[in-house]
Amino acid sequence: MNIAIFIADSNGAFPVPAVKGGAVATLVEHLVKEGNKDNDNKLTIFSYYDKNAFNISKKYSNTEFIWIKRPMIIKAFDRILFKGIQVLRKNKKSISYATVFSLCWYILKCSIHLRKNIYDKVILENNIPIAWIIKLSRYTGDYYYHFHNVPRINAKCKDVFAKCKGMLCVSKFVASQIKSKENAIGPVRKEQIKILYNCIDTEIFKIKNYDKCKKQIVEKYHLPVNKKIIVYVGRLSKEKGIDVLLQACKKLDREDYIVLIVGSFIQGVKAKDSYEDELLKLANDLKEKVYFTGYVNQEDLPTIYAGSDVVVLPSMWDEPAGLTMVEAICCGANLITTKSGGIPEYITNDDAILLERNTIDRYMTFYVDQILTQCRHSKKNVDICNDKFSTMNYYREFISILNE
């Protein structure tokens, strides 16, 4: 079976292999890794060109990569628009406009290619506007949309979604949202919906020695010794709830901790928005207890999870899935998160402390304090991680859906 996967975004132009990060790009690379061992199926990945990604792609001999190179003028237009949005709409989510012109270029180049080629299956990854690849190419073969988020627009492509062979959803929560006639692409027929839970690289995210990992992160990020470490991992955006975490820490009646904020506004770009300004003010209130690492490579995250005393991921929106939460528990970390969106499908009360969003102000400080006092790491989630969230299982489920 010949499978083409189209992956493009408007907030960073993340390539595959995922040398610049990006959750969706990383998941596609997991498919590539497992697909490279499969002689019965061949993947073709349509990716933004990146020199490092190009070099790494050579090790995937069973996968074809079609590289979309962005002209300098396109990149310049991206920078101008992004800067303009930051200035004119400081309180808005400007990251969504980081690579708009690159996205348009990608759609044009891919539609030209698809017009000339046929595949057994075509997968469109997440970004709604890339439905125009199907529209412009007038493609009539089987194609699927892979939803990693609940769609908020339809990009004037409802006809494309109506003819879609299947909708791959990362959770039942996402599926329930797109079924609704109120949704931008809805209503979607029940038979179109397929659930494909996300995965992590369980060879990387696994139990490690707590004392050794803690020493490593203390040395690497120049943290004070003999302090409990509270960790947040993810984007620095309002819906992720970092401000909620810092507000909770201000109420802690103890001095033996620091907070490590792991993540950035957008990988590789020195840019800030009003929310980051808010976080810096909260950090100043906590004096020298808060440390920002900036972007961290995925390979370095297991050490941070394993060396933490508690990981707090207080998602304040309807999170489609819970990948960061899964990474944390697979490394044996103590986890506090919220019952938001699809998170409870990935994480249960047996794995972590799950708080209702409307009660988080009352209980967050209590549970952080309790965990810091007990400070016990768990190994009970290892089998669950390997069985349910491995890349091998992810690839098998993916192929199984396409074979239905």
Per-residue pLDDT of the chain (404 residues; tens, 9 = 90+): 999 999 997 777 899 999 988 889 999 999 999 999 999 999 999 999 999 999 999 999 999 999 999 999 999 999 999 888 877 776 566 677 889 999 999 999 999 999 999 899 999 999 999 999 999 999 999 999 999 999 999 999 999 999 999 999 999 999 999 998 899 998 899 999 999 999 999 999 998 999 999 999 999 999 999 999 999 999 888 999 999 999 999 999 999 999 999 987 544 444 456 788 889 899 999 989 999 998 888 899 999 999 999 999 999 999 999 899 999 999 999 999 999 999 999 998 888 999 999 999 889 999 999 999 987 766 656 667 777 899 999 999 999 999 99
Say whether 210-386 and 2-199+389-403 share the same fold.
yes
- Cα atoms found within 13 Å of the Cα of residue 351, Cβ hemisphere only: 24
Q: What is the pLDDT, as a whole number, of residue 116? A: 93
Which letter does DSSP use for residue 117 in this model? -
Burial of residue 72, with CB atoms counted within 10 A of its CB: 0-12 exposed, 13-18 middle, 19 or more buried: exposed
CA angle 97, 99, 235 (to 5 degrees): 65
- Return the structure tokens found at 239: 């819906």
Q: Where are the alpha helices (DSSP H) in 117-268?
A: 131-137, 158-162, 172-179, 210-220, 242-250
| Cβ-proximal residues to 374 (8 Å cutoff; 6+ apart), any chain | none
- Taking only the tens place, the pLDDT of each residue in 138-148 is 999 999 999 99
Q: Find out whether 38 and 62 touch, Cβ atoms under 8 Å.
A: yes
The domain limits of the chain are 2-199+389-403, 210-386
- The helix (H) or strand (E) run that includes residue 276 is helix 274-285
Report the CATH number of the 210-386 domain. Answer: 3.40.50.2000
CA separation (Å) from 133 to 123, 140, 154, 270? 11, 12, 14, 32
Give the up-direction half-sphere exposure of residue 23: CA atoms within 13 A in the CB hemisphere.
19
Structure tokens belonging to residue 65 = 């990569």
pLDDT tens for each residue of 325-353 = 999 999 999 999 999 999 999 998 888 99
Q: How many residues does the chain have?
A: 404
Inter-helix orientation angle 100-116/72-88, to 10°:
140
Instruction: Write the single-letter amino acid at 392.
Output: M
CA 385 to chain centre: 17
Q: Is 334 exposed, middle or buried (0-12, 13-18, 19+ CB in 10 A)?
A: buried
DSSP code for 333: -
Residue 270 burial (CB < 10 Å; 0-12/13-18/19+)? exposed
Q: Which CATH architecture has domain 2-199+389-403?
A: 3-Layer(aba) Sandwich (3.40)
**Quick one: which of 240, 261, 230, 244 has its CA closest to 334?**
230
Distance separating alpha carbons of residues 248 and 312, to the nearest angstrom: 11
Q: What is the Cα gyration radius of the chain?
A: 21
Question: With contact defined as beta carbons under 8 Å apart, do 258 and 229 qualify?
Answer: yes
Task: Tell which residue, 302, 303, 301, 347, has the closest CA to residue 323.
Answer: 347
